[in-house]
Every structure is written in structure tokens, then in C-alpha cells.
A and B are shown apart, each in its own frame.
Chain A
Amino acid sequence: MREIGRFFSGFASRNGLPVAIYLLVAVSIWIFVLVVLPQLTMFDFSFRHNLPPPKIGGPEDVHTLEQYRYFLMGNEITGGGVNTLDIAVLFKTLVAAVFVTIIDLVICYPVAYLLAQSSQGSTKRLLVLALIVPFWVNEILRAFAFRILFGSTGVINGVGMQLGLWDAPIDFIGENVALYAGLAYAYILLMIFPLYNAIESLDRNQIEAARDMGASWAQVHRRVVIPYAKPGIASGSTMVFMLTAGALAAPQILGGPSSLWFTQIIYQWFNSGGNWPRGSAYAVILLAICIMFVLLVMRVFKVSIGEIGR
């Protein structure tokens, strides 16, 4: 707190009080009104019964763990016992998010490396532009485009069958290939830019020194570039993982008929289910599990939270 105070007075003396006050107010509104308050409301919601409007604020409106209990144990309708259905969906969602994160990492690492270390000046700007411009197309449109691309009469099946690579149309959507491709593509920039940032600051001479000492291409990357880029890899992976696990549009549009994403369950409770407390509880569970998972993985790879901010 004292550090913030010192920062504020320093900032005020450098930039003038009005600017400093603007900064303080803007950041406070952002953090408290837009981030903390809605989350707290949701958090509070998740500990309540789903009551009809007249009863809200009445004697029955008390805090309860019912919604969390439901996630774990279900109720009479679901048949009692452990709520395997929802838990399995959450687990599958996490596995899928990890899978998408790995795909993105594999795709983006070489791209970021080339961008950071090999290209220069105008070539670099052109490449960055080529990466960014496609994202002007909005998410829904992009998702439907992927559906068309991967559909049974889509471009990929068309070309594949024309070339005789396969005979009958492959059900890319049913097999969730379209979903993974769509998700991987949706968050590709969030992986490339942290990686790019990390790799770009690597002293080229380090790579040359390694090459010079007889390191092979793989050794240079394994021992020099990747350890150096670890914070970037961590921050890119965290963002992609979090956003993938929380994605809704792509699973709705690109998911196969049997695919159910945990976010879709949350959406159902809020929307058609009309049960906001339960939706809130599910959302809180997703958030908590994701954060714990990320912290665990960071622990395993020995990345500290401070490094991600670099």
C-alpha cells in the first residue's frame, strides 16, 4: 500500500495532479467496478438458493452450499450418488483446453522464433500484419467459416476426396477436429506475442555462441532459447488455457453433437435453466479449478508468478 502511495505521489509530481487523479480513478473503476464487484456478486450468488423473485430477501433467502453440493452429488432427479456427468464434462473441458494449448504452443513457437530472430524491418511488419488482420473478422463469423470449411461437403473434404486421399466424407465436426482447430486458431495471437516478446530480447550472440560450440539445432532450442523464453511460454500458455477452458461460442458452433463443454452447462443454468445461483457456482468452480491447475503446472515447470508479468 505504501508503495502504491509513493508511486502515486511520484507520478503526480511528474505528470501533474489532474493526470494522476484521472489515472487513479480510471484504474480504481476498472478494478473495483468492472472486475471485483461483478465477481463478488457472482460469488455471493453461488451460495444462495434459486428462489422465485417474491421470496428474494425473504426468510428463505439464506446462504447455502446447495449449489456446490449439486455439482458434486447431483440430486434425486439425476439419480443420487456422485454427479459423474458434470464432473466428467469439467474434466474433459480441462483436457481439451490443455490439448488446444499444446497445439498452439507447437504452432506458435516456430512462428514467434522466426519473427523474433530471423526477419527484420519491413518483412517483420508485414508478417505481424498478416497475423493480426485475419482477427478483424469477428469470432462468430470465423467459427461459422470453420464449420463450412470442415463440413461434410466443405472445402477440406472436397479437396481430400478429389485427390483420392479418402473416399467418404470425414466427419470433422463430429470428431471435434473443427472445434480444436477453431479454438487453436482463435487464441493463436495470445500465444505468439508473449513468445515473440520473450524470444526477441534474447541476445542473438547466445544462439551463435551455442552453434559455435557445436550445439545442434535442437540443442540450441532446448538448452538456450526455450529456457530463456520460459516466462513467455508460461504467460502465453496460461492465457490460451484460461480462454479456451472458458470459451463458449466456438464449442456452441463447432462442437460435434456429442460434445459438451463445461461453459455450455454454465450457460444452460443461466439461460434456459433459469438457475443463476447454480450457474454462478459452476462458473466459480471452473475458475477455481483452472487457477489451481495453472498454479500446479507452473509449480511443476518451476515458473514463478512474477516471471509471467515480465
Chain B
Amino acid sequence: MYLSLRGVTKRFDKVVAVDNVDLDLAEGEFVCFLGPSGCGKTTLLRLVAGLETLDAGEILLEEKDLSALPARKRNFGVVFQSYSLFPNMNVARNIAYGLECRKWARDRIVARVEEMLEVVHLGDAVEKYPHELSGGMQQRVALARALAPEPAVLLLDEPLSALDLKLRQHMRRELRAIQQQVGLTFIYITHDQGEALTMSDRVAVMSRGRIEQVADPRTVYDQPASGFVASFVGENNALPGKVLENSEGRLVVDIGLSAPVAVAAGPGRGRKLKPGEECHVFVRPESVSIDGSGQTNRFDATVMREEFEGQVRHLVVKSGETELRVTQVGAGNGASGPGASVTISFAPELAVPLPVGHLASA
């Protein structure tokens, strides 16, 4: 493995910020650490960068232990949320800074700065000072500055969160393209699941200092490993219930609707749940249909609220005492408007049963 975190732990006074984190990264991989603020993801990045010292565990780069090395000897680049460009230096000098610290030869520095400017498309801003640049341009300079010294790994701490939506979406694609162009290992910290899902090879979902799940974006979305992941990534209906049956990859769960529901079970999704056990059944709003076309898990419900968002409609429907969020693409089929009666249904394989655990707070 290229970069390995083994039992990485960090405490601040009594609070465990990062709790026994293990993770292996392949060379050239783009891994996002995704979690709500305070989950320890930034601390983890600072530990990897060497800006904080480990309380336990080790960080290995190509099997060499880095734990004792200070930040400047690790050869990792960091891009900070606040850009942190040096205000007294122009773009070229900012980018050259790391190279000068490493005592590169003058002509090599010039060539490298040129190359970096090309990578981030900033050729015409060489002479400008940070305060003369827009947020997006400053971010590119910060990226070029971090990439210039040919770091072993690039660490990015919420680099896009200060940009506006359109620019953010553009920069996502660009960041991903740059990462693939230079073939560098990226560790990307974010609380924005859109960023995590669109850019990364793998997403590590963090909560309370621990990694809840590491997997490719699709798996994280479709096969969440814990209640936290299910409720944090994307929208989800978390339906508390009690297992009635568990046989042959099929669970029957009472979630307080007029009849028990059938849920497909499998490895990592409720296979170990025993009859009588409490659990959560997660059903994504877009997995629920309201046009009565589904064959399983059919229930009569009433529309309580409706929100029109252009591309999609968000509905809240109530069946018995249970409220469910439903998302319909476009105008959708079936009745609409508060008070309308609908027949909801969802397929067993689109519902995920998980043991009771902590959920993401809304």
C-alpha cells in the first residue's frame, strides 16, 4: 500500500477527535473524507500532514513510518480552505515558495512554475498579487503552490467551500481532471456529499472520530454500512421497526404501517438481524413510488405537504402514524396537493435494513 493509516488516534484533553482510524490508500487514488463538522476529519488531515502529533498509531508512506517526521520533511502538499496565500508575494513567487525552500535550481523553478500555471490555467496572472484575484483564482494558485514541489500526497481541506455554487461545481470537475492528469494521491476533506460522491474513487464517511464506511461512492449511497452513513449521505427515510422474520435473504419488519414490510437482506445489510430485534429500515425518497404501480410493500397514504423544486417534487406522505418523504422527478404521476390520497410502494431491494445505531442529525 502507498499510504497507510494504522490505528491513528488523537485526543484533545478528554475528547477523542480521531479514534483508531485504519485506512490504506493506493497510489494515485482520490479519497474523500466525508463527515459533518466536528467529526474529526480535519484533525485527521492535520495528523497526516504532520501539523498535529499522533497520540497513538502510525502513518506509513510506502512502508516507512512518518509519525516522527515534522510537516516540512514529509513532502505532503496541503491546500487550505482559506487558501492561505502569502499576501506579500505575487502568484509566481507563491508557487515558487516551496521550491525555493527545497533549494531547487533557479531555471528548474522557473520551468516548474510555468508548468504549474499551465495545469491550473493561470498563465496570465503570474504577476498579480493574491488580493487582486477572485476566490476561484486564489484557489487555483493555492493548488498550484501545493502541487509544485511534487508532493507524495496532496491533502485538501474543504478547498471549495468558500466558492459559490456554480464555480464549485466547475472546480470539482477541474480538480478531478488535474488529479488524473498529475496522477497524484489526493486526500480530500469535505462535509459536502456532492463533492465526495462526484470526485472520489472512494469515500470514507466519518462520524465521532471513526470511519463508518469506506467504499466507492455508489456503494456508499446504495449499500450504507451503518445507520449514520444511511442518514448522512443523501436523503433517507429512517423507519424504526422490529424484525419479525429473517430467512433466505428476506426480512419481514414491522415498521408501524398497516402491514409488515418485506426487505431484501444480504451481506452488510441486516443479514444478522434476529427476529424480535429492533432495527432501522432506510428507504430513499426517490425509491418510493406514489402511483400505485409497485407490487410489494403497498400502502394507502395521504399527502401532507408538497414542495416544488423545478426538476423534482418533494412530498411528505402519511400512512397510519408513519411519515415518509417522497421525491418525484418532474411533474410525476399520481395525485398531488395536500390531502390527496395515494398508494405508496417500494421494492424490497431498495430498502436497507440496519441495526439500530446513531443517526446523522438533520
Contact = CB atoms under 8 A, between A and B. Distances in A.
Given A211-B70, A212-B77, A213-B98, A203 B51 contact: no
A213 B84 contact: no
B1 to A, nearest CB: 23
Interface in A167-212: 203, 205-206, 208-212
21 contacts: A205-B82, A206-B84, A206-B85, A211-B71, A212-B49, A212-B51, A212-B72, A212-B74, A212-B78, A212-B146, A213-B77, A213-B97, A213-B98, A213-B145, A213-B149, A214-B75, A214-B101, A215-B98, A216-B72, A223-B86, A228-B88
A213 B50 CA distance: 12
B310 interface: no
B14 interface: no
Contacts of B149: 213-214
Nearest to A213: B98
Contacts of A219: 101
Interface centre among A212, A216, A224, A228 (most CB of B within 10 A): A212
Contact of B97 (A203, A210, A216, A228): A210
Nearest to A217: B72
Interface residues of A, number: 17
B2 interface: no
A203 B101 CA distance: 20
A227 interface: yes
Given A213-B146, A223-B86, A227-B88, A208 B78 contact: yes
Contacts of B146: 209, 212-213
A205 B149 CA distance: 18
Interface centre among A206, A209, A228 (most CB of B within 10 A): A209
B145 to A, nearest CB: 7
B102 interface: yes
Interface in A223-269: 223-224, 227-228
B221 interface: no
A216 B85 CA distance: 17
Given A208-B78, A208-B80, A210-B97, A215 B72 contact: yes
Interface in B114-150: 142, 145-146, 149
A215 B84 contact: no
Interface residues of B, number: 28
B51 A224 contact: no
Nearest to B73: A214
B76 A214 contact: no
A213 B85 CA distance: 12
Given A214-B102, A215-B97, A208 B75 contact: no
B357 interface: no
Closest 8 interchain pairs by CB?
Answer: A213-B98, A205-B84, A227-B88, A214-B101, A205-B80, A215-B101, A209-B84, A211-B71
B51 A214 contact: no
Interface of A: 203, 205-206, 208-216, 219, 223-224, 227-228
Contact of B86 (A211, A216, A224): A224
A209 B156 CA distance: 12
Nearest to B155: A212
A219 B102 CA distance: 11
B267 interface: no
A209 B78 contact: yes
Nearest to B148: A213
A212 to B, nearest CB: 5
A216 B87 contact: no
Nearest to B97: A213
A213 B87 contact: no
A203 B51 CA distance: 15
A215 B94 CA distance: 13
A212 B152 CA distance: 12
B71 A208 contact: yes
A223 B84 contact: no
A100 B98 CA distance: 36
A205 B49 CA distance: 12
B272 to A, nearest CB: 44
B54 to A, nearest CB: 17
B340 to A, nearest CB: 53
Contact of A213 (B88, B89, B101): B101
A219 B88 CA distance: 14
A212 B76 contact: yes
B97 A223 contact: yes
A261 B199 CA distance: 70
Contacts of B101: 210, 213-216, 219
Contacts of B70: 211
